Amino acid sequence: MTTTSPKANRGQFRKGHDPRRHVFSTEECKRGFLLALESIAARYPDAVDAYGRHMAVKFLRKRKRKEADQ
């Protein structure tokens, strides 16, 4: 029995504009990021440092500080 690697389905993806492809706006990306942080905080309520800050909040502060430096 010989094994061959699976081939891509030709014609399934075509370059160029397609109205079915959605491009996320900056606002949608920010909202999704904040919702992900809330989800992390909800799933891991015990993930806090010695100061009582949750790891998700700590990450967000670090990211904002990095953006402000640039």
Is the CB of residue 54 less than 8 Å from the CB of residue 47?
yes
Tokens of 10: 């030709």
Instruction: Using the predicted structure, report yes or no on whether residue 9 has a pLDDT greater than 70.
Output: no
Tokens of 35: 């919702």
Separation between Cα atoms, residue 36 and residue 56, nearest integer Å: 9
- Across the chain, mean pLDDT equals 78
Burial class (CB in 10 A: 0-12, 13-18, 19+), 3: exposed
| pTM reported for the whole predicted model | 0.50
**What integer pLDDT is reported at residue 53 of this predicted model?**
73
